[in-house]
Amino acid sequence: MLKLKLNHKDDLFKFILSIFVFGIILIFLTVVTVILYYSYPAVSRFGIAFLWTKEWDPPKEIFGAATFIAGTFMVTIIALIFAIPLSLGIGIFLEEYCPKFLKGFFTIIIELLAGIPSVVFGVWGVLTIVPWLRKYIEPFFKSHFSFIPFLQVTENIGYGILAASIVVAFMVVPIIASITKDSLAAVPKITKDGALAMGATRLDVIKDISLPFSYRGIYGGIILGFGRAVGETIAVVLLIGNQAIIPKSIFGVGYTISAVLANTFTFAVISPIYASSEVELALILLLVSLIINIIGRNVLQRVIGGKLSRAQFGGG
C-alpha cells in the first residue's frame, strides 16, 4: 500500500515535508503563546494603563512601562534620524554614482556591517563612541548649545541615549541602505538612460526618476529598520546607562524595554507578577515587531517582490 503510493505519487514525501512545515508553524505559535500566556496575569491586573504608568516598583508591585517605552522610542527615533540620510546616501552612491568595478566590493562592505554581532557593536560603543562623546561632543554642546531643549548636558559621562542611538543607527544602516539599493535597481534602466541622453545630470535622474519610482521601497526599508532598532538589546544595554528615568535631553541616560529585560528578567522570575510584567514588556516588543514587519513586508512586496536582502539577516 505504502510502496504503491510512494511509487505512484509523492504522498509520503509530501507528508514528511509537511511535518517540517508544521514544525515551523509550531515554533511561531510557541513564541506567541508563551508570551501571551505568561504576560496574562500582568495584563489582567494592570490593564491598558500599564502603557502610561511611570512607576516601576518591584517591592510595591506597581509596574508601568511608560519610562521604558519612552526610552525605546527615543533611541529608535534618534537612531533613524541618523540612519535615514546616511543609508539613502549609501544606497544612491552604490546604485547610481559608484564606479562599476567597485560596486560589488563596496556592497560587500556594507553587508559585512550587517553581519557584525550586536555585542561587538556594544563593545565598540563603550570603548570608542562613549569616550569620544565624553571628551569632545558633550563639552562642546555644554558650552555652546545648552539653551536648546533636548540638547542640555547635565552629566558629562558619555553613556546615554545619544551613544546608544549612534550605535543602533550603524546597525540599522545596512538594512535601509541595501533595500534602498535594491529599490533603485528596480527602476527601468531605459528610462534613466533616456533622461541621461536628453542631457539630464545624474542628480536630475535620481531626483526626478529614480526616487519617485522607488520611494515605496525606501519607506519599506525604513519600516524594517525601525523594527530592527526597537528590538536591539545587547548594544543598548551596554550604552544607554540603565537608569529608569525618562530622559529630558538626548545626552541623558535612560532605559529601553529590551535593556530592562536583559538586565532584570532573571531576577524577576522569583515573583510571579514581576515576571509577568517583564513578559508584558516583551509582549509590547513582540507586537511592535509583528505589526512593523507585516506593514514593511506589504510595502516591499510591491516594489522588489519577495526578494530578501542579505542585510535583513542581522548578526544578533
Partner 1 sequence: MAETDNYKKTGDPNNYFPVNKSYIKRKKIYNRIAYGFAALAFILGAFPVFHIIYSAFIIGYKYLNWHFISTLPTGFPIGAKGGILNAIVGDLYLVVIASCLAVPLGIGSGLYLSLFGKQRANSIIRLLNELMIGIPSVVWGIMGFYIFSTNAGLGFHFGFSALAGGLTLGFIMTPIVTLLTEQAVHRIPASYIEGALALGATKWQATKSVIVKAAMGGIFTAILLGVLNIIGQTAPLLFTNYYNTGTPTGITGPGGAVGDIAMLIFIYIHEPSRILHYKAEAAVVVLLFFVFTLDIGMRLISWLTVKIFEMF
Residue 122 or 160: the one with the smaller Cβ distance to partner 1 is: 122
Q: Does 4 bind partner 1 (CB under 8 A)?
A: no
Nearest residue to 240 (alpha-carbon basis) of 167, 145, 154, 132: 167
Q: Does 227 bind partner 1 (CB under 8 A)?
A: yes
The one among 65, 88, 130, 184 contacting partner 1 by CB under 8 A: 88
Sign of the CA dihedral running 162, 167, 173, 176: negative
Q: Does 40 bind partner 1 (CB under 8 A)?
A: no
Q: Which stretch binds partner 1 (CB under 8 A): 4-12, 45-53, 150-158, 244-252?
A: 4-12
The one among 54, 66, 73, 115 contacting partner 1 by CB under 8 A: 115
The one among 49, 81, 127, 148 contacting partner 1 by CB under 8 A: 127
Would you state the cell numbers that stand for residue 57, as one nine-digit string? 516598583
Residues 95-114 that bind partner 1 (CB under 8 A): 96-98, 106, 108-113
The one among 43, 119, 195, 244 contacting partner 1 by CB under 8 A: 119
DSSP-derived pairing of the beta strands 62-63 and 56-57? antiparallel
Q: Alpha helix (H) ranges present in 47-115?
A: 66-92, 100-115
Q: Alpha helix (H) ranges present in 133-210?
A: 138-144, 161-185, 189-197, 202-205
The one among 2, 3, 28, 197 contacting partner 1 by CB under 8 A: 28
Residues 145-164 that bind partner 1 (CB under 8 A): none
Residues 6+ apart with CB under 8 A from 269: 275
